[in-house]
Structure 1
């Protein structure tokens, strides 16, 4: 039965919820598998769909979840973020405010969503929010453990040992996941996960059009966070002559005060998006096997569909 997500506090279940960053995975599948290697008999590419389904099957086999949700970008470049930092994702705009997506990939996304619906895996976005925000809200509101699956570094900020939230970072692919807890985040970046967004705002991120503070790189940003805390604490310390800033660094941070005030909420993943009704329970068999069979035959997806069905059937009852 579908239900509205609510806050379950620290309730923990034995099996995880897999919260999947669907755009991250289907872009990776599209670019990782040549179009000619995965086509229909009519020559239509299905490389993104096949690769995505195979990744989900592998995750189900290896992580053995009892819940799975795929997050989508209902608004890939939310206007509230653009209003704060106009350069946000600007370089990735194709026209108007539409994301630049290869046509061969764009045609596959509806097919993928049909397959997920036939299997019984919920996939949704929320107007005004990115997939990251859906993932953040799932991590904040669903019973743990929650394993967020993404190749987006921004989601390291969600890692929380107390809540049982981990990031399965697939920067090198699903076969080489980094299973990130708080210790891994701190070892990797030199900052606690709870301040990763503050660190990212200062360091900047060219892939998202975030310039960062000029003259403040990754090492300096990590050192500042480790010493003072998040952006508000760092900016407050600027007003204290005894805070120990080097004169040049103080000038750089003071000049970037307005940018940092605006960039921090852009970098922070929302935890309160209004999610639709959904049932995250992972089925042990396809919800609509007839529809799945039709889709598998039409789009030459029999092998990938079978691997996913086999993975589901191998889960404990």
Structure 2
């Protein structure tokens, strides 16, 4: 393996965190909100300085609720559905050079993820800032950012070390010590002090040995924030014990089907009742490894890609300092 390092950003996870964590400095509500934009840029500067990547990708939700997942589990993220893209509430004004359909790629009558009113107009600006700086921003139509990350991990694992930055536990399934894939989990410590998601971390925190076992455990446990019911009566601890005892979700289901006497009473009844969910959940929860992600240059930029747009963003939205911090971290004069 080379000394190269790829930093993959779960963009939505980070700009949501920035929006709720960075103070709104506006003196009037007539001014455009910028806290998520400023915070996201500061996160890039912090992460680049701390981890010294040679390659960097901001991974994007071209579809935050892919149809193939909804077809299998209709409750998937259903509680997050907002108003149609064409509604006034979700309209956005973007800087020159913005491409709104890339930031929110959906047809006019498609329901979108409900965003806070002051976050919605900042997302296209974040896309603009990335384009101006020359930082790769990659999505895939019909897929989530998680799938973009999974695909890029599959494409580059073994050839360079990979760090995935996210506040989404689902991506812990990608942890792979043998191929130097770790997850920098921002849950409590943020981007400055993220949990170092390695296999030792999975063993210590969840009592599972690797990313595959974590995936199986998470399917059993479910995730109400994503509309995944899981199996009644099974949480992290019980799920981990069952995966340890039977080796995998597949092994557990075979034991249930074969009438293993160790699985009895309410536990057997609950596992049997969840059979339809367990049939499809792996295809919903497992991130794609083969999404149609463009094969493009993902090297760290060595110069500003669009000085005019970057200058316009800086002057219009008062983000000169965050931009300069990113340029400093990238070592771009």
Same-fold call, TM cutoff 0.5: yes
Distance 1:128-1:234 versus aligned 2 partners, 3 A rule: same
The residue number in structure 1 matching 2:2 is: 13
Q: How does 1:192-231 map to 2 (within 5 A)?
A: 192-231=210-249
* Contact 1:136 1:271 (C-alpha < 8 Å) held by counterparts: yes
Moved more, 119-128 or 187-196: 187-196
Q: 1:314: how far off?
A: 7.8
Distance 1:314-1:118 versus aligned 2 partners, 3 A rule: closer
Match of 1:233 among 251, 262, 280: 251
Moved more, 52-61 or 277-286: 277-286
C-alpha distance in structure 2 between counterparts of 1:311 and 1:94, whole Å = 36
* Contact 1:38 1:47 (C-alpha < 8 Å) held by counterparts: no
Is 1:186 aligned with 2:174?
no
* Contact 1:39 1:46 (C-alpha < 8 Å) held by counterparts: no
Q: 1:229: how far off?
A: 2.2
Q: How does 1:14-53 map to 2 (within 5 A)?
A: 14-35=3-24, 37=25, 43-53=31-41
C-alpha distance in structure 2 between counterparts of 1:139 and 1:243, whole Å = 40
Is 1:55 aligned with 2:43?
yes
Secondary structure in 2 matching 1:19:
strand
Is 1:65 aligned with 2:53?
yes
* Contact 1:18 1:149 (C-alpha < 8 Å) held by counterparts: yes
Q: How does 1:237-252 map to 2 (within 5 A)?
A: 237-242=255-260, 244-252=262-270
The residue number in structure 1 matching 2:155 is: 141
Secondary structure in 1 matching 2:202:
helix
Secondary structure in 2 matching 1:295:
helix
* Contact 1:199 1:221 (C-alpha < 8 Å) held by counterparts: yes
* Contact 1:61 1:314 (C-alpha < 8 Å) held by counterparts: no
Secondary structure in 1 matching 2:294:
coil
How high is the TM-score relative to the length of structure 1? 0.91
Instruction: Summarize deviations over 1:269-315 as a string: whole Å, max 9, x none.
Output: 11110111321100233223343122211111100000000111189
Secondary structure in 2 matching 1:259:
helix
* Contact 1:39 1:47 (C-alpha < 8 Å) held by counterparts: no
C-alpha distance in structure 1 between counterparts of 2:298 and 2:250, whole Å = 36
The residue number in structure 2 matching 1:163 is: 179
Q: 1:193: how far off?
A: 1.6
Unaligned runs of 5+ in 1: 1-11
Q: 1:40: how far off?
A: 9.4
Q: 1:38: how far off?
A: 5.4
The residue number in structure 1 matching 2:86 is: none
Where does structure 1 differ by over 4 angstroms across 4 or more consecutive aligned residues? 38-42
* Contact 2:165 2:184 (C-alpha < 8 Å) held by counterparts: yes
Unaligned runs of 5+ in 2: 84-109
* Contact 1:224 1:234 (C-alpha < 8 Å) held by counterparts: yes
Distance 1:41-1:278 versus aligned 2 partners, 3 A rule: farther
C-alpha distance in structure 2 between counterparts of 1:260 and 1:118, whole Å = 44
Match of 2:111 among 97, 104, 112: 97
Match of 2:281 among 259, 263, 278: 263
Root-mean-square deviation (CA), in Å?
1.8
